[in-house]
Chain A
């Protein structure tokens, strides 16, 4: 067996307030395909950013050895010079430049600042042949599909004389056919002697291409398994991914007993959403689910499962293209074609991305809280500033938002306090149904508990809660019922009693052909 080409020893990476990686060790052998898997937030991407120099040497602790030498990458160029190339989930191509121009961007075949086009095109054609992409190198990148763009990225990596190729969830945006081709290419490159690290949580993919798999959990490397060994089953990998000690705490929840006969507060029937650009792709496929008053219903799923896309499309068509389905509120069909309509029917959607979709960061706490329901503090179109201030003060106290005054710009608050402002804003709107999308993402344990308490109280007041989360313990601790989603489809529904992390994870990692 070949020796290690890469060793990462005891890597620790801290962001303000969060320890993203605590003691990760990774050993990759020469010429293998090494998979890294773990839940969202387990530290996979952060680890790869440390490796590729996005997080420069000095911003983390620990040691990186590549081909036996200690590496101290200052930036991404430094790691590329050593032959380490990372392909991010969001492709870094310039859409209106040609394939050839993209491949050699920043690395042009040029003499004294002038590009040698003959050499560029010749070399590009050669690289495209290597990755099996049958397109003319002068085609614009915008004119080819995502799958082919992925291949262009790999061609670009090959042009840099890559020795270690890192792919961050390369098939997340691809359909089955393109995924298959890409996985074949990875195996082909392996035959040519290129080592790959592939981040994925699709277990069938890992089994197909990887030689070994390292499991990360809560910023730690848990174990490295030999994928080809008989005892490495999908269940074995799953138990590694979820088997954490439940040190999170949740408020005491009395299980909910739905009123017999009452219609669900919100029911979604056969909801289908197409991707906004790639219209062939269904990001949510005939999803049906319901939630009753006083009930907390979880939706579990990994990245790309379609949970956010579904919720945002139901909430005023805020994402993607609607392609069928109905919404019923208290048994009556309603229209939610605009956000205003959805809000009018008593639905609130609390976004997973508070900075981009939840808050006006340059504005103050009070103005952010009042925005959705300005009418409540206004008289004939004129806002009563004093009442608005009182409302904000009330939420500052009840939600324990840590800020000197309500006139503080929201951008200056910590993540947990920003989340409390977003929640306050939607609670103030007075909805019957709250869709909470990753409400505890990126906030510390103390603030998490506070937010759980608020959610529990809302349910006790008779509100219907849909709780989207990637953290299984959180769903198990908070929900009365849990749905699982994978690749746009609903793959299971479990009561609180039935649900365990293993059962849920099995349904979350189901890919399409397995479901059928």
Chain B
């Protein structure tokens, strides 16, 4: 069933036969699961939620059109969740992103609709405005030592107010075609007419090749350093699962209108930020100040500078999210981005962040965001009212973090 393969390698169906090797594999997988509970726990939960809703909606959830919709609907929360994850890892919080999203959207509308500024230039200016807003908050937090909760709470009120001032309480639109495409558009189609979207197929193929090469290279280098690697069979299983997952999503998207442009942006962000957080000195310093600030300071980490840039970055991503929202709605509204900060924060915590900082991954934020996104979408398909949707999302957040706390206490004692 297609729902299985979108999950982690660890979730792949256990050995078919009851033979020696089968049992061995199962044991290995359970071992691996236990060790990486944090990583896989939420992935499995996501898989279960997808499966449940697929059944409850008679497969509607996984219809090509709906998958495409799901990506478009959640893209801005996911963009915000990436930035929020960095903020939370650094040991802070940002409550202003929802308002900032709306503010940048309204700024974009004023530029493009009222003043007819060319959309690529306006887009650039918007990102700069976001970065400036973020850096002002970052300066207050990092260098003046005002708690981030307070600074961004003030920012939340301030940017919401500025949005209404800019828009004079009205909705402003429509946007030029160029920008609309960013929010709603799909990759262009070329080549022979098949039943599928050709560029999307090619893109999917490229991703598969990249992923496989990366995994194989990683394994080789680990072996060079005589480090423990996954057993060959389990590694093969992991590869098959990964390929199957990418292939499923590709085929689903390709059989509708192709890959949304937002998905491409999101993909670049996930890979880029994932790499920075794992491999860049900057990323390491974020983990260090969040994990133990005094120790990081005594190690020569420039904690203030790092904090400043984390907030600058959050502002820029909020601006990007604001543009996507505006483009998708094809208008700037004073009420845009309401509660986005809470969704982004919830995504981060569902995805494994810790209140005390120092823990979390970009991929985790995405998984957390998708859990919320699938819940939203699935409940919409089932025509669950927004009242109950909120209740269920609240419970999901509690359950995810509660499970994490329980799991940690169990392994800690």
User: Which chain A residues in 358-393 approach chain B with CB under 8 Å?
Assistant: 358-363, 367, 370-372, 374-375, 378, 381-383, 385-386, 389-390, 393
Contacts of B301 in A (CB 8 A): 371
Is the Cβ of A360 less than 8 Å from the Cβ of B294?
no
Contacts of B295 in A (CB 8 A): 351, 356-360
* Residue from A342, A357, A385, A425 with most neighbouring chain B CB atoms (10 Å): A357
Answer whether residue B280 sits at the interface, using C-beta atoms and an 8 A cutoff: yes
Is the Cβ of A382 less than 8 Å from the Cβ of B280?
yes
Is the Cβ of B281 less than 8 Å from the Cβ of A375?
yes
Q: Mark A332-374, 1 if CB is under 8 A from B, else 0.
A: 0000001110110000010100001111111100010011101
Q: What's the nearest-Cβ distance from chain B to residue A409, in Å?
A: 10
Is the Cβ of A381 less than 8 Å from the Cβ of B358?
no
Q: Which residue of chain A lies nearest to B297 when distances are taken between CB atoms in the complex? A: A339
Partner of B299 from the list A372, A375, A378, A385 (CB cut-off 8 Å) is A372
Q: Mark B279-301, 1 if CB is under 8 A from A, else 0.
A: 11110110110011011111111
Contacts of B296 in A (CB 8 A): 360, 371
Answer whether residue A239 sits at the interface, using C-beta atoms and an 8 A cutoff: no
Is the Cβ of B297 less than 8 Å from the Cβ of A362?
no
Q: What's the nearest-Cβ distance from chain B to residue A499, in Å?
A: 30
Contacts of A342 in B (CB 8 A): 300
A386 to B282, CA, bound (A): 18
Q: Which residue of chain A lies nearest to B226 when distances are taken between CB atoms in the complex? A: A393
Answer whether residue A405 sits at the interface, using C-beta atoms and an 8 A cutoff: yes
A170 to B135, CA, bound (A): 47
A351 to B282, CA, bound (A): 24
Given contacts A356-B294, A358-B295, A371-B296, contact A363 B281 (CB under 8 A): no
Partner of A362 from the list B221, B224, B298, B359 (CB cut-off 8 Å) is B359
Number of interface residues of B (CB under 8 A): 27
Number of interface residues of A (CB under 8 A): 35
User: Helix, strand, loop or mixed for chain B's interface?
Assistant: helix
Q: What's the nearest-Cβ distance from chain A to residue B262, in Å?
A: 27
Is the Cβ of B292 less than 8 Å from the Cβ of A339?
no
Is the Cβ of B292 less than 8 Å from the Cβ of A385?
no
A325 to B291, CA, bound (A): 33
Given contacts A360-B292, A363-B358, 18 further A-B contacts (CB under 8 A): A315-B298, A338-B300, A340-B302, A342-B300, A351-B295, A356-B295, A357-B298, A358-B298, A360-B288, A360-B295, A360-B296, A363-B291, A371-B288, A374-B285, A378-B281, A381-B280, A382-B280, A385-B278
Contacts of A340 in B (CB 8 A): 300, 302
Contacts of A316 in B (CB 8 A): 298, 300
Given contacts A363-B291, A383-B279, A386-B221, contact A318 B284 (CB under 8 A): no
Contacts of A374 in B (CB 8 A): 281, 284-285
Q: Mark B326-358, 1 if CB is under 8 A from A, else 0.
A: 000000000000000000000000000000001
Q: List 14 A-B contacts (CB under 8 A).
A: A315-B298, A318-B298, A339-B298, A340-B300, A342-B300, A343-B300, A357-B294, A358-B298, A360-B291, A362-B292, A363-B288, A363-B358, A374-B285, A393-B225
Is the Cβ of B225 less than 8 Å from the Cβ of A339?
no
Q: What's the nearest-Cβ distance from chain A to residue B131, in Å?
A: 19
Contacts of A315 in B (CB 8 A): 298
User: Which chain B residues in 68-112 approach chain A with CB under 8 Å?
Assistant: none
Answer whether residue B228 sits at the interface, using C-beta atoms and an 8 A cutoff: yes
A338 to B299, CA, bound (A): 11
A405 to B227, CA, bound (A): 9
Given contacts A318-B298, A339-B298, A389-B225, contact A356 B292 (CB under 8 A): yes
Which A residues fall within an 8 A CB radius of B?
315-316, 318, 338-340, 342-343, 349, 351, 356-363, 367, 370-372, 374-375, 378, 381-383, 385-386, 389-390, 393, 405, 425
Partner of A349 from the list B225, B281, B292, B298 (CB cut-off 8 Å) is B298
Q: Which residue of chain A lies nearest to B357 when distances are taken between CB atoms in the complex? A: A362
Is the Cβ of B358 less than 8 Å from the Cβ of A360?
yes
Contacts of A360 in B (CB 8 A): 287-288, 291-292, 295-296, 358
Q: What's the nearest-Cβ distance from chain A to residue B14, in Å?
A: 26
Contacts of B280 in A (CB 8 A): 381-383
Given contacts A374-B284, A383-B280, contact A362 B302 (CB under 8 A): no
Q: Which residue of chain A lies nearest to B302 when distances are taken between CB atoms in the complex? A: A340
Contacts of A351 in B (CB 8 A): 295, 298
A296 to B225, CA, bound (A): 37
Partner of B291 from the list A361, A386, A425 (CB cut-off 8 Å) is A361
Contacts of B297 in A (CB 8 A): 318, 339
A359 to B300, CA, bound (A): 13
Is the Cβ of B291 less than 8 Å from the Cβ of A385?
no
Contacts of B279 in A (CB 8 A): 382-383, 385
Contacts of A349 in B (CB 8 A): 298
Q: What's the nearest-Cβ distance from chain B to residue A205, in Å?
A: 32
Contacts of B291 in A (CB 8 A): 360-363
A503 to B279, CA, bound (A): 53
A295 to B120, CA, bound (A): 64
A349 to B295, CA, bound (A): 11
